Amino acid sequence: MKTGDMDRRQLLSLALAAAALPAAGEAVARKAQRAPMSLRYPLRLSANENPWGPGPQARAAIIAATDDACRYGLSLQAPLAQAIAAKEGVGREQIVIGSGSGELLHMLALGWCSRGEVVCPWPTFNQLMSFAEKLGAGIKKVPLDAAMKHDLPALAAATSPNTSLLYVCNPNNPTGTVIDGPALRAFCSEMAQRTLVVVDEAYLELVDEGMTSGMIDLVREGANVVVLRTFSKLHGLAGLRIGYALARPDVAARLRQHWMTSPSVLGLAAATASLGDTEFLTRTRAALIADRQRVTAACDELGLAYAPPQGNFVFLRPGMPVNDFREKMKAKQIEVGRSFEPLREWCRVSVGTTDETTVFIDALRAIVKG
């Protein structure tokens, strides 16, 4: 987590980015206060969103940017890219902003995967692969190992001269597991000499200290690696659709050629403001991790297996067919995630607010004890 240690250059860059946003007056600041959190049913614990968001600074920026919603967001892209570049220590030309990292996954498929083969762990977040398949690429799915982690030797063995892209998801969705940082760095570094390596770090900001590390340093070193990040998770801005890629300048330029649409004014304004909202990000991260631990403690108490979670979700084995579990939760007005092929007995449950987590744990106890 880097939010606590910004240097002066980064702070200056954020200040410049914020100055480019429409001014937030007093009335705006008042409206930006979050109403007291209340439980809204059905509880949505199915889509890995972050219901703590948007943070106060993002809210103020959204309201202040309303007048500019008649404009395209072009002038707001550069300040956001600049702020991200300064925070991550890369050049601005190395940042590609997308309408969610989902758009960037599609852009990667368009740019690299119209032929050849995509290699990926399985199960994982399938957005790039499902689009690549429609474009004509083959997909080589490499099963997770017994600990539900990426099987790095098997992934390496699956690559061939026909591989157009290798996708890695750390932490992995849906399992929430992470790969040891030095092992992943060595793996990506070696694989990048064979093919484009995409490291999807959508949940990285929610990882416990020391469990893994981000791969942006490989981008800084000029490796053939694209790192993807999003404002949909820790920042709580999923509905505003902003994500970004970090890549070598030539890779970023090639990626940019496949832009599908320009990100929204409200999303860009919110993301830029949220980047500097250290207080909100720190507090939210702590709450999500604490509530994630409450869910795993409840699983321990009930004797349910789970994969060690490092995102804002827990992949657990409810001890009954997943469809039955989902129906029982639904009867209590709680939407939980689905199962993922081939792990048919496992269910992904997103971590909500503290009150939502309490409701979920009570429901879990009642259902499992039957």
Ligand X SMILES: Cc1ncc(COP(=O)(O)O)c(C=O)c1O
Residues in contact with ligand X by CB under 6 A are 48, 100-102, 125, 169, 173, 200, 202, 230, 232, 238, 243
Nearer to ligand X, 169 or 273 (CB): 169
Smallest gap from residue 36 Cβ to ligand X (A)? 27
DSSP state of 163: E
Residue 321: is the preceding peptide bond cis (ω within 30°)?
no
Pairing of strands 95-98, 243-246: antiparallel
Nearer to ligand X, 179 or 368 (CB): 179
Smallest gap from residue 365 Cβ to ligand X (A)? 28
Nearer to ligand X, 325 or 340 (CB): 340
**Contacts of range 74-80, beta carbons closer than 8 Å, 24 or more positions apart:** 74/262, 75/20, 76/20, 76/21, 76/265, 76/268, 76/269, 76/272, 77/262, 77/263, 77/268, 79/16, 79/17, 79/20, 79/21, 79/272, 80/17, 80/242, 80/268, 80/271, 80/272, 80/275
Residue 249 neighbours by CB under 8 Å, 6+ apart = 91, 93, 94
Smallest gap from residue 207 Cβ to ligand X (A)? 13
The answer to whether the beta carbons of residues 141 and 130 sit under 8 Å apart is no
Tokens of 167: 């996708």
Smallest gap from residue 366 Cβ to ligand X (A)? 28
Nearer to ligand X, 214 or 298 (CB): 214
Nearer to ligand X, 82 or 175 (CB): 175
Smallest gap from residue 230 Cβ to ligand X (A)? 3
Smallest gap from residue 282 Cβ to ligand X (A)? 21
Nearer to ligand X, 30 or 134 (CB): 134
Beta strands in the chain (DSSP E): 43-45, 95-98, 117-122, 138-143, 163-169, 196-200, 225-230, 243-246, 313-316, 334-336, 347-350
Smallest gap from residue 228 Cβ to ligand X (A)? 7
In the bound state, the residue with its beta carbon closest to ligand X is 100
Nearer to ligand X, 200 or 356 (CB): 200
